Structure 1
Amino acid sequence: MKPVISIGAQDFTYIRSHHYFYIDKTSFIKEWWEYGDAVTLLTRPRRFGKTLNLSMMEAFFSNQIAGRGEMFEGLSIWNEEAYRRLQGTWPVLFLSFAGMKGDTYETAREGIVQIIIDIYAKYRFLMDGNALNEQEKEYFDFIKPDMSDAVASMSLHRLAICMNRYYGKKVLIFLDEYDTPLQEAYVYGYWEKLVSFIRSLFNCTFKTNPYMERGLMTGITRISKESIFSDISNLEVVTTTSEKYETAFGFTEEEVAGALEQFGMSEFLEKVRYWYNGFRFGNRRDIYNPWSITKYLDGKKFSTYWMNTSSNKLVGRLIREGTPDIKIAMEDLLAGKEITTMLDEEIVFDQLDESNEAIWSLLLASGYLKVDSIAENEEEEELYQLSLTNFEVKREFRKMIRKWFKNTSVRYNDFIKALLADDIDYMNQYMNQISLQTFSSFDTGRKPSEDAEPERFYHGFVLGLMVDLAGQYRITSNRESGLGRYDVVMEPLNRQGQAVVMEFKIFNPIKEKDLNETVENALQQIEDKKYDTELMARGVAKENIRHYGFAFEGKKILIG
């Protein structure tokens, strides 16, 4: 009989008690316990079972779930007598920041405070009897919506004291998705304020807390030590490139093959591999996203499940507003190529607007990119070869790029049709409308759009071309041909089709009288620099190559 899949269920006890589909990850319990690290920060992309695994850890260790060994019967951890005796013997504090998404600091802080209030309510029974003194009991009354930062920072520390008094044992502290509110803080511009609050909370909870036996945090990113972990010297960080816990999160190829067999779908393994395989943790290159696999098993349809699970605001913003180099690299990635870069897995959010390396590090941590290989340069610095993780990720990036133009009053594919039909009048009409509506999305955000260089705009525009003309054209930008570097080349995959070369120029009032002259200079540059050379070398006839000059003056554009 096929197991039933409970879509979205992340509570271990609920899944096991209802006998829903579950792939055994209980070896993580033993692995984590035997490493003995004081505080572990374990990063994995979204929907990789972080919440379910922490729920499993709570169900195994918590003395509030003692005597429920039947939940683990048939799972690997239950094969060892020592661990059967360990189940349900520790006081556990389990919190999750997964739902902490707010567009203001006040909203984010209020959400975290409410989590603290809720967990105090859960353990209010600690005040029964004589285990706590009067001062410790009175502290429960300080935990309220208008509590000060000082009280909030010490709250989990003080609760650990009370649990230690009550149970006579130190506390295990589990925190899920620690970085969700921090990513939101960066996106909405209140990073510094929230970092200060969370740094103090984490320091009191995980560093200066003699009542904690061990701590375990999960998240997507490894946020820089200087930002929030500066005082936590006992932190063991495990990222996607670490060899620890390689198979504890995500499904392996063997597990996916077994699941397909359970559901009578083994013949689709090769296509499942093409769509969803590609994540790499440590030395394991055969990791699948659990959400995509369970959704596929449930619906029996290939689709982009994983990247639809939550907002891609941060990733979209970093690519859309990124430098031309970022967009050129995205062109290569979407074309199935690798990029080579140095990486620092410690994400410094303050540098995301300025550092390409920081952006690639974030995309790797978030699961959009995978490491194909690592080499060293002459200075013995590590260089990472990165590519898009799998077909599902590639499909979703294309959808993301389309959305950049979706909210304009004119349809992007109408411009494509005009371009292919050589309808310059409509091309001009469209580009002037879309530049007014979207130009500010592609500049740096630190100066008026009228003064911004157009490179960010037109490279975003090129990515849009790549998406809508995939299968018909090979589109590249800022590459060498002839005697210089062209701006955009559209090479038809059908050699009988029309090729296009585009040159973008900013109006220079000192040298040019108007945009018409700027257009003429752009067209002349295409001729002088022999930008047709690469196209003709690849078999495109000279008469099948069209030239366009794009002239920019602020948000005004003229095409000729």
Structure 2
Amino acid sequence: MKKMMSCQEAAWRWGISDRRVSKLCAEGRIPGAYKEDRRWLLPEDAQRPSDLRIKDSFCLREPTLAYRAKRPLPIGVSDYCRATMNYYYIDKTLMIKNVLDELPAISLLTRPRRFGKTLNMDMLRVFFENTGEDTSVYFRDKKIWRCGEKYRRHQGRYPVIFFTFKDIKFATWEECLEIIGLLFQREFGRHMELLESDRCSDFEKAYFRKILALEAGSAELTQALSRLSKMLDDHYGVAPILIIDEYDTPVQQGHVRGYYDQVVTFMRNFFSDGLKDNTHLSYGFLTGILRVAKESIFSGLNNLNVNSILEERYGEYFGFTPDEVREMCRYYGVLEKYAEVCEWYDGYRFGNSEIFNPWSVINYFNRKCEPQAFWLSTSSNDIIGEVLEAATPEIRAKLAELMLDGTVLTTVDIGVIYPQMKKNPASVYSFLLMTGYLKIVKKEQQYNGAYIYRVALPNKEIKLAYNTEILAVMEEIVSYGVVSAIQEALYMGNGSLLQEELSQLLMRTVSFYDTASESFYHGLLLGLCAVLAGYYFISSNRESGIGRYDIQLMPRKKGMPGILIELKIAPQGSSEEQLQKLADKALRQIKSCSYETELQRQGVDKIIRYGAAFCGKQVQVKVEES
């Protein structure tokens, strides 16, 4: 079947009005166009006919960005009807086809923040919900409508229960529970017809009124989902569809604010009562950032269909695909900017789909193609701070390595939970992957059938966000003044200043047990050097000469000095004299192994070599220039 498009879509592509496209169809000037229910449909590959009207030479030119009437961008718009009618909208309605093909009982879809979860859930609500009005007008020019009657007959057929927990961000459990009660009141209030239904019992109506009056206690609120779904099923004779957006926001807030146990207990009872073996639901959809499963929130649910970023299903429906971004560039007349959009906002992979961050792409076009880290300010970084506090020295070293375009080999647990990060610091990589800070570069299946993943930072925006939200959190450990002084000492080749600042840093901030391995000191110095990434290409543990140096700073501009750092760890109880000899040995190793070969090959004239020896909180530094 030939793919068709609406007058609206053609107008976007051709830079003319919807009305003008309709007139061209009526005049028979677009081959293959036909009318369906008073709306024109055109072949998707139809070309804009030449305009036969008399124009002056200026009007004959191709319309440019300055002269075309462009649709505004839907920044912060999560209302599907508004998004499709008033803004530039990228059609994700084929997600509905996937749902109806698979018929999942309860689907849990996890994606990072600002990747279109709320808008897609509202799209499902508008498509399925029976409101008494003709809501098919919002889909007749979309891809789902071209899929045939098999799918169209589900449109507007079901009652819908819709909750969004995305704004439940309060300091206490009492405030959180109060807002949950208000959300239930609002949703019950959307179904006031149930109070007049002769198919619902007086007992059920009494409960309904209790929710409306905000008189239900915590235990009674956990029954809201099962009670409302039964009443809707009884009244309409059709089991409702459930949609819960950002279900894990209260869980995260509970963890951060200290009421984790209360919120998990409530959510466990709420979902167990409302989802487990509930025959009064047709389908259920839940979205969130993490799959909070190990606390048994979904205890006993054998009908939960989990779809994380590792799954192929629904991969292209959250975020923008390369073709969709390229079309946006074409529509707004800036096709030459596509490479820049890729550099800043591409790099994610959901299943087998390459994905751009939709929030950042929209803001990029809205800011006249001025690249910034738009995603940075969309959420609190409290959890990131906790991750770093729990990280071992080895993990901190690897986090610093990521900033320098490195990769990390790790297993991934899609069920990672907030308390787990303190007990198992290695789960930091799973958390960063699920929350959008990392991408999968490669996956390999092990002999036992499990997969191991190589992960990295996805793009330039995340490097800036990573630097601000992750490395900046380390300022609580390493003050900005100390960082600046150490960087200055490195740059100026001032070994005595470097030794003094490192000694003070270790004395003030490092516990004895943190200094057990070379990886700690390596990670500490690498993190400090990473902030110099604007001036240097920083690498670690790379081959050069006849060995592998510890840290190299390759200058980005000619005339700047190159820097090599070699670290040594002395046994506990070593004297200052022994440390000095070890620092001299590190310095000699740089020269004997010809670590400066790569710097010399790139034409770096001045090279500063550092040998640093550590023992507990003691450090000795030797420096040499050439």
TM category (shorter chain) comes to: 0.7 to 0.9
For structure 2, the 5+ residue unaligned runs are 1-68
Matches within 5 A, 1:248-263: 248-263=317-332
Which residue of structure 1 aligns with residue 208 of structure 2? 140
Instruction: Give the SS at the match of 1:229.
Output: coil
Which 10-residue stretch deviates more, 287-296 or 190-199?
Answer: 190-199
485, 489, 492: which one aligns with 1:418: 489
103, 107, 123: which one aligns with 2:191: 123
Which 10-residue stretch deviates more, 360-369 or 144-153?
Answer: 144-153
Conserved? CA contact 2:229–2:240, under 8 Å: yes
Deviation at residue 428 of structure 1 after TM alignment? 7.0
User: Hey, what's the Cα distance between the residues in 1 that align with 2:383 and 2:568?
Assistant: 28
Q: Would you say 1:535 and 2:595 are equivalent positions? A: yes
Q: Would you say 1:200 and 2:200 are equivalent positions? A: no
Deviation at residue 11 of structure 1 after TM alignment? 0.5
Deviation at residue 453 of structure 1 after TM alignment? 4.6
Instruction: Give the count of matched residue pairs.
Output: 538
Deviation at residue 37 of structure 1 after TM alignment? 0.8
Question: In structure 1, what residue type is equivalent to 2:124?
Answer: M
Cα separation, partners in 2 of 1:412 and 1:132, compared to 1, 3 Å: same
Which residue of structure 2 aligns with residue 246 of structure 1? 315
For structure 1, the 5+ residue unaligned runs are 444-448
Q: Would you say 1:314 and 2:374 are equivalent positions? A: no
Question: In structure 2, what residue type is equivalent to 1:139?
Answer: Y
Partner deviation per Cα, 1:509-549 (whole Å, 9 max, x = no partner): xx36xxxx45x444433344665346346467998413345
Conserved? CA contact 1:343–1:357, under 8 Å: no
126, 136, 140: which one aligns with 1:69: 136
User: Hey, what's the Cα distance between the residues in 2 that align with 1:58 and 1:186?
Assistant: 30
Conserved? CA contact 1:16–1:71, under 8 Å: yes
Which residue of structure 1 aligns with residue 582 of structure 2? 525
346, 356, 360: which one aligns with 1:292: 360
Partner deviation per Cα, 1:217-270 (whole Å, 9 max, x = no partner): 111122235531221110111111212112221111111111111111111112
Deviation at residue 32 of structure 1 after TM alignment? 0.7
Which residue of structure 1 aligns with residue 223 of structure 2? 154
606, 611, 618: which one aligns with 1:547: 611
Which residue of structure 1 aligns with residue 74 of structure 2? 6
Partner deviation per Cα, 1:440-471 (whole Å, 9 max, x = no partner): xxx8xxxxx67655876873563132123443
Cα separation, partners in 2 of 1:209 and 1:452, compared to 1, 3 Å: same
Q: Would you say 1:265 and 2:334 are equivalent positions? A: yes
Which residue of structure 1 aligns with residue 455 of structure 2? 386
Conserved? CA contact 1:44–1:239, under 8 Å: yes
Cα separation, partners in 2 of 1:151 and 1:435, compared to 1, 3 Å: farther
Matches within 5 A, 1:456-475: 459-460=523-524, 462-472=526-536, 474-475=538-539
404, 424, 433: which one aligns with 1:335: 404
Which residue of structure 1 aligns with residue 156 of structure 2? 88
Q: Would you say 1:489 and 2:551 are equivalent positions? A: yes
User: Hey, what's the Cα distance between the residues in 2 that align with 1:117 and 1:320?
Assistant: 40
Question: In structure 2, what residue type is equivalent to 1:398?
Answer: N
Instruction: Give the SS at the match of 1:227.
Output: coil
Which residue of structure 2 aligns with residue 32 of structure 1? 99
162, 168, 190: which one aligns with 1:100: 168
Cα separation, partners in 2 of 1:105 and 1:326, compared to 1, 3 Å: farther
Which residue of structure 2 aligns with residue 370 of structure 1? 439
Question: In structure 2, what residue type is equivalent to 1:467?
Answer: V
Partner deviation per Cα, 1:129-178 (whole Å, 9 max, x = no partner): 53422211111344365743321211111111222233222110001111
Partner deviation per Cα, 1:79-107 (whole Å, 9 max, x = no partner): 33344443221100011111122344444
Question: In structure 2, what residue type is equivalent to 1:47?
Answer: R
Which residue of structure 2 aligns with residue 359 of structure 1? 428
Which 10-residue stretch deviates more, 229-238 or 76-85?
Answer: 76-85
220, 241, 246: which one aligns with 1:172: 241
Q: Would you say 1:279 and 2:279 are equivalent positions? A: no
User: Hey, what's the Cα distance between the residues in 2 that align with 1:360 and 1:346?
Assistant: 12
Question: In structure 2, what residue type is equivalent to 1:524?
Answer: K
User: Hey, what's the Cα distance between the residues in 2 that align with 1:483 and 1:186?
Assistant: 50
User: Hey, what's the Cα distance between the residues in 1 that align with 2:578 and 2:606?
Assistant: 20
Cα separation, partners in 2 of 1:339 and 1:65, compared to 1, 3 Å: farther
Instruction: Give the SS at the match of 1:270.
Output: helix
Deviation at residue 215 of structure 1 after TM alignment? 0.5
Which 10-residue stretch deviates more, 45-54 or 69-78?
Answer: 69-78
Cα separation, partners in 2 of 1:270 and 1:257, compared to 1, 3 Å: same
Instruction: Give the SS at the match of 2:315.
Output: coil
Instruction: Give the SS at the match of 1:311.
Output: coil
Instruction: Give the SS at the match of 1:535.
Output: coil
User: Hey, what's the Cα distance between the residues in 2 that align with 1:156 and 1:201?
Assistant: 7
User: Hey, what's the Cα distance between the residues in 1 that align with 2:589 and 2:143?
Assistant: 63
Which residue of structure 2 aligns with residue 446 of structure 1? none
User: Hey, what's the Cα distance between the residues in 1 that align with 2:172 and 2:566?
Assistant: 42
Deviation at residue 417 of structure 1 after TM alignment? 1.6
User: Hey, what's the Cα distance between the residues in 1 that align with 2:492 and 2:295?
Assistant: 55
Which 10-residue stretch deviates more, 24-33 or 125-134?
Answer: 125-134
Conserved? CA contact 2:546–2:594, under 8 Å: no
Question: In structure 1, what residue type is equivalent to 2:492?
Answer: A
Conserved? CA contact 1:500–1:548, under 8 Å: no
Question: In structure 1, what residue type is equivalent to 2:561?
Answer: G
User: Between Structure 1 and Structure 2, whose CA radius of gyration is higher?
Assistant: 2
RMSD after superposition: 3.5
Instruction: Give the SS at the match of 1:255.
Output: helix
Instruction: Give the SS at the match of 2:282.
Output: strand
Residue identity over aligned pairs, in percent, reads 29
Instruction: Give the SS at the match of 1:86.
Output: coil
User: Hey, what's the Cα distance between the residues in 2 that align with 1:125 and 1:399?
Assistant: 51
Deviation at residue 379 of structure 1 after TM alignment? 4.7
Matches within 5 A, 1:178-217: 178-217=247-286
Cα separation, partners in 2 of 1:473 and 1:251, compared to 1, 3 Å: closer
Conserved? CA contact 1:345–1:361, under 8 Å: yes
Cα separation, partners in 2 of 1:453 and 1:30, compared to 1, 3 Å: same
Conserved? CA contact 1:503–1:522, under 8 Å: no
Cα separation, partners in 2 of 1:105 and 1:39, compared to 1, 3 Å: same
Conserved? CA contact 2:545–2:595, under 8 Å: no
Conserved? CA contact 2:522–2:567, under 8 Å: no
User: Hey, what's the Cα distance between the residues in 1 that align with 2:436 and 2:514?
Assistant: 32
Cα separation, partners in 2 of 1:377 and 1:164, compared to 1, 3 Å: closer
User: Hey, what's the Cα distance between the residues in 1 that align with 2:128 and 2:395?
Assistant: 45
Instruction: Give the SS at the match of 1:468.
Output: coil
Greater length-normalized contact order (CA 8 Å, ≥ 6 residues apart): 1
Cα separation, partners in 2 of 1:161 and 1:546, compared to 1, 3 Å: same
Cα separation, partners in 2 of 1:504 and 1:37, compared to 1, 3 Å: same
